[in-house]
């Protein structure tokens, strides 16, 4: 995997790229960066080039006044595509990266052929007076977030099953008796790469004009879990109702927000590739 930071006319941006073929641009969610590969599951690297930029505030992409908003971030990402000499991509927007993915599809229709939304935020998200928002402001403050994720990595190495059980209620409302150990280990493997840096605090203060959803003309596939406890299913339903050319897949999975873990995602991968190849 190539991972590098480049300078563009709109600023510096880190990105990863591997594989060859049809270009898929992943707009990652919160707490991760260009190294996050969970949503890449099932993609044949002989048929697809998978590109993941670190959004501003994550990884080695700096956060500043010129790239704080999803709309501003799109300009930086388009500059990355120009640098890579890529004219058109399929965008896969994930969780808090949903806002930026929507802006890309709405503002640069000539560069975006299709849009996939996975567990994506598409409208106002956290209540600014709610416990989740206020707690996140403290826990994921750039001054201490590295300690939080360091402890997750430490205890996850010692007991991945325990950490998966602790995190599951944050992701899902699904009831369970016993967690599949292989799936718990897969979640923990990815959690070890999590860092919030300045990105997540910036994310939770964002909002977009939802009227832009009506501007999106490219085909859109929306994938969401009805058990998502991080981004409510109402986001997916709202996107489906606002975007003219859209399809929706609603999962009833164990891991809720983390739709890529477990057999339920494996069952819909055929639908995803059918959408891509239509």
Alpha-carbon Rg of the chain, whole angstroms?
A: 18
Residue 125 CA to residue 215 CA, distance in Å, equals 21
Would you state the structure tokens that stand for residue 169, as one six-digit string?
């209620």
Helical axes 70-83 vs 98-107, angle rounded to 10°: 70
Q: How many CB atoms lie within 10 A of CB 65?
A: 7
Select which of 16, 17, 54, 95 is catalytic: 95
Q: Is 95 annotated as catalytic? A: yes
* Exposure string for 110-146, b = 16+ CB within 10 A, e = fewer: ebbbbbbbbbbbbbebbeeeeeeeeebeeebebeebe
Active site residue ranges: 95
């Amino acid at each position: 995997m190539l991972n590098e930071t480049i300078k563009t006319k709109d600023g510096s941006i880190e990105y990863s790229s591997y594989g060859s073929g049809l270009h898929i641009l992943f707009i990652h969610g919160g707490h991760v960066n260009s190294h996050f590969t969970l949503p890449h599951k099932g993609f044949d690297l002989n048929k697809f080039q998978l590109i993941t930029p670190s959004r501003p505030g994550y990884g080695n992409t700096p956060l500043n006044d010129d790239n704080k908003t999803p709309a501003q971030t799109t300009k930086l990402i388009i500059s990355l595509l120009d640098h890579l000499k890529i004219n058109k991509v399929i965008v896969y927007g994930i969780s808090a990266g949903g806002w930026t993915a929507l802006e890309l599809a709405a503002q640069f229709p000539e560069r975006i052929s299709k849009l996939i939304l996975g567990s994506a935020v598409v409208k106002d998200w956290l209540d600014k007076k709610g416990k989740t928002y206020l707690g996140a402001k403290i826990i994921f403050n750039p001054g201490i977030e590295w300690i939080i994720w360091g402890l997750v990595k430490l205890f996850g190495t010692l007991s991945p099953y325990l950490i998966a059980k602790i995190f599951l209620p944050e992701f899902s409302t699904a009831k369970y008796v016993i967690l599949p150990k292989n799936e718990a280990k897969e979640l923990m493997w990815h959690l070890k790469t999590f860092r919030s840096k300045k990105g997540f605090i910036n994310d939770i203060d964002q909002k977009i004009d939802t009227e832009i959803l009506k501007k999106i003309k490219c085909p859109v596939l929306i994938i969401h879990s009805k058990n998502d406890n991080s981004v409510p299913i109402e986001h997916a339903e709202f996107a489906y109702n606002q975007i003219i050319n859209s399809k929706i897949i609603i999962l009833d999975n164990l891991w809720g927000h983390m739709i890529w873990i477990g057999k339920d995602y494996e069952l819909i991968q055929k639908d995803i590739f059918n959408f891509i190849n239509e």
